[in-house]
Structure 1
């Protein structure tokens, strides 16, 4: 949004903050902020058709998407929306000095002369897909990623003694990934939980879409469960956590974004099921180290730590499209086996 104008200079150089979009050399903004500015005519135009005024992005030569991993945890669709209108031909004149306009801009080739730089803490399919689709520079594309040594994998930070199983679910395509994992969970995992009365089970769901699918499945089976999501009220979360710790509810559904933004340390968990691997590798030791927290020797509601740690377990479901997530958890060498 607009703010108080100011300038800072040294040795003849100056920087004017909060200038008009069309008179700015550098635009620092969030994807959502750009969309809101366009919808509210924050760019100095009259809005225009097609979702707002983005003409000031027509001549961008360098686009830097910083902390893409953080934007991914918010709403990556906003990033794609901005990238879609980048270097689009202007719809209005906007007092343009055509003597300074390069020929490739007039020819609609601006996107081929623009650099797209994406910085992320980790590689993600959504981020890589956006980079591949919008990185149309004539110089080609370059991707740099760090291999994860075995002694630097996040699984090394797991401190509890528990049986950890990583189960690869056969999957034909990315589009069918969610449905395939849900079918495997319904046929192979959930019956064991309900039949064997596996109490104190927490199911971690990386996305809210996974949560909705599993929640509807548990409602269909009339299972006893509570939910902790990023959209739940504080009172609902507190009440659900208390009922789970007291053993009044057997299953807890816990979403990835709820853990990312709130970092709950759930007490009373003895069995952990990962419906998919978390994007952030530190989530895995966070969840594992909470096993047995708040449980007594026999799994009751005592204040001690889980004594029989060997009875704790973790089952992680994943597909071949989550290889990068697995690599960050177990290391590159183990992932390539």
Structure 2
């Protein structure tokens, strides 16, 4: 059903379950066929396990509310980019090592099916350069080192990448603008050497400064 769609709107978890669900179902079928003597031995390659080729032609990947996905489970998003071996029989092309650029999205198709239109296959797909033409758009209401790392690692479009940040006027960035009336609030400065260390810095500040009596 995915191959006939021009636009896919999926949650990372839902897409991951759909992909891994195909693999797990065919695993059970293979084992049953092997036990029944139907000719397929357990461990033989089942073409249905590679039923993720619909992700190979993604031209625009839009990840909205990235901060919300980050608070749920960012590993589901990383699976689509970082882990091509999560689905059996999906491995890098011969002579190419597994890396972040060899991902489920824009991976090299492993087979053709009745929906394949060879007249629309672009040359750069065949040469393994699909990710260089893909647009990766990530939207978040707050910065985070994991979002920045994912964007820098997988936004590999040959045109480059750009980061837009909303400008907050100084008149709205003061602490007095975020106070809640009739509620006592205490703001403390947490020293941090870099954005990637912010989580550890907050924990250390809590353990060393806030928690002790």
Superposition TM-score tier, normalisation by shorter sequence: 0.5 to 0.7
Task: Find the counterpart in structure 1 of residue 169 from structure 2.
Answer: 149
Task: Find the counterpart in structure 1 of residue 157 from structure 2.
Answer: 137
Alignment of 1:50-89 (within 5 A): 53-83=51-81, 84-89=103-108
CA distance in 1, matches of 2:14, 2:122: 29
Alignment of 1:3-82 (within 5 A): 20-41=1-22, 46-48=48-50, 53-82=51-80
Asked if structure 1 preserves the Cα contact closer than 8 Å seen for 2:190 and 2:201, the reply is no
Show CA shifts across 1:70-129 (max 9, x none): 222221211121233110112222343333311111100000011111122233222222
SS in 1 for 2:136: strand
Asked if structure 2 preserves the Cα contact closer than 8 Å seen for 1:113 and 1:137, the reply is yes
Asked if structure 2 preserves the Cα contact closer than 8 Å seen for 1:65 and 1:117, the reply is yes
Structure 1: state its 5+ residue gaps.
Answer: 1-19, 193-337
Aligned residue pair count: 166
CA distance in 1, matches of 2:185, 2:119: 69
Deviation at 1:57, TM superposition (A): 0.5
Q: TM-score, normalised by structure 2?
A: 0.67
Task: Find the counterpart in structure 1 of residue 212 from structure 2.
Answer: 191
Task: Find the counterpart in structure 1 of residue 137 from structure 2.
Answer: 117
Deviation at 1:165, TM superposition (A): 3.6
Q: Higher Cα Rg: structure 1 or 2?
A: 1
Deviation at 1:29, TM superposition (A): 0.8
Higher relative CO (CA 8 A, sep ≥ 6), structure 1 or 2?
2
Q: TM-score, normalised by structure 1?
A: 0.44
Alignment of 1:154-303 (within 5 A): 155=175, 156-158=177-179, 159-160=181-182, 162=184, 164-171=186-193, 174=196, 178-192=199-213
Give the number of the structure whose residues are more often helix, by fraction. Answer: 2
Deviation at 1:35, TM superposition (A): 0.5
Asked if structure 2 preserves the Cα contact closer than 8 Å seen for 1:123 and 1:145, the reply is no
Asked if structure 2 preserves the Cα contact closer than 8 Å seen for 1:40 and 1:47, the reply is no
Task: Find the counterpart in structure 2 of residue 305 from structure 1.
Answer: none
CA distance in 1, matches of 2:147, 2:194: 21
Structure 2: state its 5+ residue gaps.
Answer: 24-46, 82-102
2:110 matches 1:91: yes
Show CA shifts across 1:227-269 (max 9, x none): xxxxxxxxxxxxxxxxxxxxxxxxxxxxxxxxxxxxxxxxxxx
